[in-house]
Amino acid sequence: SDFSESAARLVAPGALYPSSFTPDGRSLLAVRDGDVVIVTGEGAHARVETLFDTPEPKRTPELSPDGRWLAYAARVGDRDQVLVREFPGPGPPTQVSIDGGSTPLWNPRGGELFFLTLPGSGTAAKPWAVMAVSFTPARPVPVIGRPVQLFPYDVNDLAFCGSPVRCHDIAPSGEYFYAVQSAPASNRAVTHINFIPKWFAELKAKVPGGRAR
């Protein structure tokens, strides 16, 4: 009763935005109506529970590699900030970003958390950038370093920022980021459209056994 079965099935109806699996693969963190929920597989369906009940909208929940800490973005005062709290709790949130932040992502090797700046708040003309901050687990609150900029990026070229869940990823080594790059604009006008009738029949004839790679 987890999410590892190969057959596709509807486990939880409604507007759920999946974000992060627990390390054992049995539960999934998601965003629903501005709340972080945990979805636990139970046969053909799933149990959906709100993780913590606070009034501010929350986005982009991400579990640490060991599954013991949850990073997410939420409204603090007049801007979004990145917060971290013990998972599944209890425990208070600790603020990670200083001058606004969104879309946290853990370093798979541990000890570090990445997030994105928010140019729309705080310092004027601040660029979109990927930030890094050291993270040391501790109770009752973790030890958070001071955020440093890794590199700026053009939001019109690279789709790092996503809401309510992130749209970029990181390599297992922690050395490379993956993001969607915008296609270059083309000045060539569309002059015709190709229409292929009976496309699936043609595909089956060209691919033995109906298997395409």
DSSP, residue by residue, 18-50: EEEE-TTSSEEEEEETTEEEEEEEETTEEEEEE
User: Is the N-terminal amide bond of 90 cis, ω within 30° of 0?
Assistant: yes
Q: 58 is written with which tokens?
A: 């929350």
Radius of gyration of the chain (CA): 21
Side-chain-side CA neighbours of residue 190 (13 Å): 3
pTM: 0.76
For the chain, 213 residues long, give each residue's pLDDT as a single digit of tens.
Answer: 455 555 555 556 667 888 888 888 888 899 988 889 988 876 667 788 888 888 888 999 999 999 999 999 998 888 899 999 999 877 789 999 998 999 999 999 989 999 998 776 544 557 889 999 999 998 888 999 999 999 998 888 888 877 788 888 899 988 889 888 877 666 666 677 777 777 667 767 776 654 444
CA distance 74 to 119: 16
Max Cα-Cα span within the chain? 65
In 3D space, the residue among 91, 21, 94 whose CA is nearest the CA of residue 61 turns out to be 21
Q: For residue 179, which amino acid is it? A: A
